[in-house]
Amino acid sequence: MGRESVMLTPAESNEVMEAFKQFDKNDKGYLTRIEVQSAIEDLTNQTFSMDHVEILYSEFDKDENGKVDIPEFKTMIKYLRSTGAVKKKRSSIGIDDLGSFNAFGKSLGSLGTYGNHRSSDQDLAMSLVLSNAVKASQQDSNEMLKRIAKEIYPVRDMLCIQDDAIFKDMDNEEDEQDNMHRSMALDFNDLFGDEFDSWNDFDEEEEKEPVNTMDPDFESAFPASDMRCLALVSHNGMKKTMREFVVANKNLLKKFRLTGTNSTMTMLKEVFKDEAPGSIVYGPSCASGPLGGDAELVAYMVSGKIGGCIFFQDPMSPHPHRADIDCLVRQALVHNVVMAETPSSALMICTTLRQALIGRGKPELMPSFFFSLQSPTVEAYKKQQKAVVDAQKAAANGAAAVEDKVVAEEMVYKAKVTRASVFYGA
């Protein structure tokens, strides 16, 4: 069906908004189950039982908090409309209406629709309509996941996208509490079937690689020499991930002057070894992190030589130079420098950097590569520091004034004593 095919028109969206506001008692910003029931009955002129509402909640209460907010309500209505339940207000919906919804409509239409069967038939008909709406929503969500997964498949290892088929093959007697902590976001087997297997075959054939559509080559609007450095740093446990990140984004990264700690700089030169001599601009190479490399990067950052930093930290290991790590991250905050500390955030930043460099360029998207910035709190801190210094100066000046006054008084006193001694001595 596609999400585009079930979009609400502006007029329909306004109608849904008005219904939401009407039944949102006390302007809470959400609808309860009873309020949802009243709202959809008002919009459709149909009767909905609480069982029907539960069917809708199972799919459209996305955060599972028992409340339906405006986006969730709009989504609910647009899928109800897509199945025909909300096309227009009408007297009732019965079994005969299901012919356009699914194959059950024709067979159910032969059942009795009069007498005592009318109410139960209508209830069943509405349940089937709502089930169709839920299925349409689930299908669109699945298609969206497929599109996303296909695009990010080349960087799947860097993102650690989980494949729950791995866990399905594990011993079923494994502790359920352990399974609760497993992330099973995507199952490539279920999403792509044979296509997934063909992608895996690419990994086994050196001459073939999945096409990475996320990193097309392009001509940069600005030379690397006109921009501040992009620093790349990674802990030992994240070295492999950093290399995968560089390989997946090499066409973008080679547009920058690159700096980093020693091992990362060595890796960069290996990855870009086939590039034309001089086409890759390298900044200063720092020492290993525990030997002061992070501190060196802090110095470059404070002096305005670094515009962005991609820092893949290992959250599962202790680090003897934790103070240096914290200092690097803190100075990125102080100087308002672009900082990515996870592969997923680095990918998002890369998207912005591409937009900033492609074509005529949009340098306003990456100001820290051209200007010295600072946190909005720095100015207040500077004022506080100035107040402290001024107070110290005032106190020192006051003490000096008091001391001068005491000295002057002592001199006057001594002069008086001298004069008295001379007078009485005479």
Q: Which active-site residues does the annotation give?
A: 294
Task: With beta carbons less than 8 A apart as the criterion, state whether 301 and 318 touch.
Answer: no
Tokens of 382: 């500077």
Instruction: Tell me the two tokens of residue 67.
Output: 């409340």
Phi (first) and psi of residue 175, to 5 degrees: -55, 125
| Helix, strand, coil % in the chain, rounded to nearest 5 | 60, 5, 30
Residue 261 tokens read as 């700690």
Nearest-angstrom CA–CA distance, 325 and 93: 64
Pairing of strands 258-261, 338-340: unpaired
> Which residues in 379-399 are b (16+ Cβ under 10 Å) and which e?
eeeeeeeeeeeeeeeeeeeee
Residue from 76, 96, 187 nearest 137 by CA: 76
- Spatial strand order of the sheet with 306-312 comes to 282-286, 258-261, 229-234, 306-312, 338-340
By CB atoms closer than 10 A (0-12, 13-18, 19+), residue 46 is: buried
Query: Phi and psi of 364, rounded to 5°?
Result: -65, -15
Q: Which of 216, 116, 31 minimizes the C-alpha distance to 40?
A: 31
Instruction: Check if the beta carbon of residue 336 is closer than 8 Å to that of residue 304.
Output: no
Cα–Cα separations (whole angstroms), residue 159 to 83, 141, 156, 201, 398: 37, 21, 5, 20, 63
The Cα–Cα gap between 297 and 284 comes to 9
